[in-house]
Structure 1
Amino acid sequence: KDSKAKSKVIILLTDGVNNSGFIDPITASELAVEYGIKTYTIGLGTNGMALSPVALSRDGKFQYGRVQVEIDEDLLKEIAEATGGQYFRATDNRKLKEIYKEIDKLEKTEVEEFKFYNYEEKYRPLVLLAGLLLILEVLFRFSIFRSFI
């Protein structure tokens, strides 16, 4: 919302209906309109049964099961239309790449980029350790181990 860019854009990529989040999709699109954010919506995949993560196993990996997938195209079209964006449908990777290329052609904004590098010196503890070992070596050489040399 605070961007100074000429064009503010959200690309909403979804594989189904709204099933999470705290804000209703229509309310979110109204906020996008209020902040001047154009929303491009992309319905991904096909309707019907599909593999989807349904649980986490004990080792932290996803367990997959077949679930019914229905893309709410009417809602996605409504969101895109309300915000001045467009709705796209991608049924495979090739089509998704084409959609991203098309959106890229539609939205051209130069953004000034600042790079900041934060270097942190990490040699100090090693220098202190080396100095301590050197002092110990000198002390031992001229005290405890003096009689052995």
Structure 2
Amino acid sequence: MNGLDFAAPAALALVLLAIPLAVAARRRPVPLPVSTLAPLAGARPGWRLRFSRALPALRILAVVLLAIAVAGPRRGDARTLVPGEGIDIVISLDLSSSMLARFGDSNRLTVTKDVVREFIRSRENDRVGLVVFQQDALPLSPPSTDYAALDRMVADLDSGLLPDGTGIGVGLAAALSMLQESTAASRIVILLTDGEHNAPSIRPEDAAALAAALKIRVYTIGIVSESPGERAREIDEDLLREIAAQTGGRYFAASDPGQLADVYDEISSLERSRITREAFDDYDYFAPWFAGAGAALLALELLLAGTLLRRLPA
């Protein structure tokens, strides 16, 4: 279990309100002038008088308890960090013929496969699924922790498995269908392409709206040319940015193999950080108990002051 903390720790300053109450309680009442105290010399204070002196303590304790309640005492449950309940990831890869263009010392598809395989090998407990797309989409594996099988699957990928084209919308929709029943704390799609949507199928905007409705984040990656002119002609970066922004993800551009590897590392870091924060969203809140106890003490003080410990008029 995580330790006790406060949702609004600054509110604990309200405890200082108990100080003037304590000072007031220590002040002695102004004595009444009497001719002599001799007749009372041997008298002992009655039980009402003794208990009435404790009434201010009830009010002080009530103020302390109410201040703690306002600060929102809570305890997070670290048991939500159970292995296997972390991230469900579906990788959606463009296999269109343009992915065979030169990229570094190899081509875009070969470099992408190497980076994706390394990304898969670095997983711990996260489930990973795989979708490929050209004009149509082909789901190859639902989210799984069989990383060895996924590695072999990615290694065997090649362009030409489907009719050529770039169906970004159908590639995203196929990935979403794998995740819609997932109960993982974090569900994401990593979609990589090097071109513009040109397939007569699902519109990317419609697929992005579905992802947003399902609360599935989409990270989009564009394999781009270093030349700004070629980059503008080859890929619709505005669309990829829009998809990512609409779903709470991010768009990344990679113009060389090193950048592409960095992109996957950053996505991994972002999601790991996010799931660590979300793991402590499951709290036990104790404010009602403190508030109830404080209110009960105030009510008790008022009840006693008005009945058993009521001061008689002089």
Taking structure 2 as the reference length, the TM-score comes to 0.28
Q: Amino acid of the residue matched to residue 249 of structure 2? A: G
Alignment match, 1:3: 182
- Encode CA deviations 1:14-65: one digit per residue, 9 max, x unaligned: 101012262100000001011111000111031629xxxxxxxxxxxxxxxx
Of the three residues 223, 226, 246, the one matched with 1:82 is 246
- Encode CA deviations 1:67-107: one digit per residue, 9 max, x unaligned: x9521111111110000000100001110000000000011
Partner SS state of residue 40, structure 1: strand
Alignment match, 2:236: 72
Offset of residue 4 of structure 1: 0.8
Query: Post-superposition, which runs of at least 4 consecutive aligned residues in structure 1 deviate over 2 A?
Result: none
Of the three residues 182, 193, 199, the one matched with 1:14 is 193
Greater helix fraction, Structure 1 or Structure 2: 2
Which has the higher Rg, Structure 1 or Structure 2?
A: 2
Q: Distance in 1 between matches of 2:204 and 2:194?
A: 14
Q: Amino acid of the residue matched to residue 26 of structure 1? A: E
Q: Amino acid of the residue matched to residue 80 of structure 1? A: A
Q: Distance in 2 between matches of 1:74 and 1:107?
A: 23
Q: Distance in 2 between matches of 1:14 and 1:71?
A: 8
Partner SS state of residue 22, structure 1: coil
Contact 1:15 1:69 in 2 (8 A): no
Q: Distance in 1 between matches of 2:222 and 2:250?
A: 11
Contact 1:14 1:43 in 2 (8 A): yes
Q: Distance in 1 between matches of 2:250 and 2:200?
A: 22
Q: Amino acid of the residue matched to residue 251 of structure 2? A: Y
Q: Distance in 1 between matches of 2:233 and 2:200?
A: 18
Q: Distance in 2 between matches of 1:12 and 1:19?
A: 16
Alignment match, 2:207: 28
Alignment match, 1:54: none
Of the three residues 218, 221, 228, the one matched with 1:42 is 221
- List alignment gaps of at least 5 residues for structure 2: 1-179, 277-314
Q: Amino acid of the residue matched to residue 220 of structure 2? A: T
How many residues are matched? Answer: 92
Contact 1:39 1:80 in 2 (8 A): yes
Partner SS state of residue 211, structure 2: helix
Greater strand fraction, Structure 1 or Structure 2: 1
- List alignment gaps of at least 5 residues for structure 1: 50-67, 111-149
Q: Distance in 2 between matches of 1:83 and 1:29?
A: 7
Partner SS state of residue 107, structure 1: helix
Q: Amino acid of the residue matched to residue 3 of structure 1? A: S
1:106 and 2:300 equivalent? no
